[in-house]
Amino acid sequence: MFVIINVKNNTVKINKIKGFKMLENFSDEQFESKVKKEEVSIIQFSATWCGPCKSLKPIMDKLSEEYSDKKYFWALADVEDGGINTGSAMGIRGVPSTIIFKKGIEIDRLVGNPGEQAVREFISKSV
């Protein structure tokens, strides 16, 4: 569930959107516990200082909602924090890098942020 908080005229309105998924914060431990076990995992490797990473995240959040009927694991891995070891093991050399895994095996990789349509096509052809 996703929550939107609107503040207007000193009042707070909370809207809940059922079924809305967002990227989970990824930690290295989840590679064993989630990525290797899930049928499909889509991980955006990112860094807090990276402008293209920041603009890719809302696209990935939106696509995770579009695919909410699927049981995919969607996550955001900070290569300088919780996902540092996984990022290194995956050979991440540039961010953002989005990797699609099936049962822990890399199926495809997209480096950069080519825009929403290209990211959608990348995911569609890989899963």
Tens digits of residue pLDDT in 68-113: 899 899 999 999 999 999 999 999 999 999 999 999 999 999 999 9
Domain extents in the chain: 20-126
DSSP 26: P
Is 119 noted as a catalytic residue in this protein?
no
Architecture of domain 20-126: 3-Layer(aba) Sandwich (3.40)
Band of residue 16 on the pLDDT scale cut at 50, 70, 90: very low
Does the pLDDT of residue 1 top 60, yes or no? Answer: no
Query: How many CB atoms within 10 Å of residue 7?
Result: 8
Catalytically annotated residue among 53, 92, 110, 123: 53
Exactly one of 50, 56, 95, 99 is catalytic; name it.
50
Whether the bond between 96 and the residue before it is cis, its omega within 30 degrees of 0, is: yes
How wide is the angle at C-alpha 115 spanned by C-alphas 109 and 117, nearest 5°? 85
Say whether 6 is catalytic.
no
Distance separating alpha carbons of residues 52 and 46, to the nearest angstrom? 9
> Beta strands 97-102 and 105-111: pairing type?
antiparallel
